[in-house]
Amino acid sequence: MVSSSKLPSRPRRFAIIGSGGATGLGALKVCLDELQDYIRAGDVELVGFEQRGDIGGVWLADPQPDPSKKWPESPAYHSLQTNIPHPIMFYPSHLAPPSTHLYSGVQTVNGYLRSYVDRFGLRPYIQFNTEVAAATWDNSTNQWNVTTRPYETRGAETISQFDHLLIANGHYRHPYIPKFDGFDDWASCSSRSYTHSIWYRRADPYRDHDVLVIGGGRSGGDCATEIYTVAKKLVHAVRSLEDQDRGRYVRRGAISHFTSDGFVHFTNGKGEHVDRVIFATGYEYDCSFLTQLPVEEPRYDSDHLYNSRFHIYPLALHIFPLRAAFPPNSLAFIALACFHCA
């Protein structure tokens, strides 16, 4: 809540970066609920920036990704479903109809988010097709200088000032691909190829191939299950699981290295021939627009805020920055934590 006795003579300005996805929309609604009296009085301004052209975030599918782009706009594959029942996943202020499938597909979740936006009147607060190129704290004004530009056309830049930033740009845009000894030699053969699961949409391109899926998370499991139905052989590498051999399905543990003859070798000494590799190995945190947030190797005794690519540290409650060059209440990271213990 904003105390009226502490409001500056100008409106206090809030920006939500990544306001079109589920996290950003939730943050936007909470801000509107908590600050509505101040917004009506003109004492607070609330702006959402969304890089894409519509509502949905991850759940706004990119079914035919443009291969000329560095990454797809969304990692959602054709068969993707939620792994949490919708009464738990969806917001309690706007439950889905009882007829909704318990584990919902991409279009259902996207439709839900659209109805959420319409019900609570969120759309007027969001600037779509707007990329945040930079956000820099200015000690002389005690504000953030936020540089934005049109996303698709990369047109003229605009600089605006904000008192508070809420970062809700998600986790699923910057793929992580681990390095393995010998992989470049394996990939040098023109008859072999590899990709990250962010590009995966359907199993059919892997028909009659020897396919290696690396990673035991949700996308890795889904890719392996689907591709097994069409592949000549499916090898699923999951470090935490025991070996398994079931005809065309092979499960192995940690990878040791690759060799130029087309084999992947595992730490238990076994090897498998593969001609396709899918890295279902997760994503890195990408907050490159925060110009004062360096990317560094993790260190528990850091005296400043940094991004290790896999966590942002140090944060209070996984949200508010500690040991930063700006006030802790000027910046909040929303939904960084992926796993929670009750």
pLDDT of residue 325: 86
pLDDT of residue 298: 86
User: Could you tell me the CATH number of the domain that includes residue 268?
Assistant: 3.50.50.60
* Residue 272 falls inside a structural domain: yes
pLDDT in tens, the chain (342 residues): 455 445 557 899 999 999 999 999 999 999 999 999 999 999 999 999 999 999 999 999 999 999 999 999 999 999 999 999 999 999 999 999 999 999 999 999 999 999 999 999 999 999 999 999 999 999 999 999 999 999 988 789 999 999 999 999 998 999 999 999 999 999 999 999 999 999 999 999 999 999 999 999 999 999 999 999 999 999 999 999 999 999 999 999 999 999 999 999 999 999 999 999 999 999 999 999 999 999 999 887 888 999 999 999 999 999 999 888 899 999 999 998 765 444
Same domain (yes/no): 194, 143: no
* Three-state secondary-structure class, residue 227: helix
Same domain (yes/no): 30, 70: yes
How far, in whole angstroms, is CA 91 from its chain's centroid?
19
* Residue 1 falls inside a structural domain: no
User: In total, how many domains does the chain have?
Assistant: 2
* Residue 342 falls inside a structural domain: no
pLDDT of residue 24: 98
Same domain (yes/no): 255, 291: no
Same domain (yes/no): 158, 261: no
Dist CA 18 CA 204 (whole Å): 33
Give me the half-sphere count of Cα atoms (radius 13 Å) on the Cβ side of residue 299.
10
DSSP 109-165: HHHHHHHHHHHHT-GGGEE-SEEEEEEEEETTTTEEEEEEEETTT----EEEEESEE
Same domain (yes/no): 46, 133: yes
* Residue 147 falls inside a structural domain: yes
* Residue 244 falls inside a structural domain: yes
pLDDT of residue 340: 47
* Residue 117 falls inside a structural domain: yes
Phi, psi of 224 (to 5 degrees): -60, -45
Q: Are 170 and 247 in contact (CB under 8 A)?
A: no
Q: Tokens representing 318? A: 């996984």
pLDDT of residue 301: 83
Query: Which residue range forms the structural domain that includes residue 243?
Result: 183-279
Same domain (yes/no): 28, 113: yes
**What is the 8-class DSSP label of residue 6?**
G
pLDDT of residue 118: 98
pLDDT of residue 317: 92
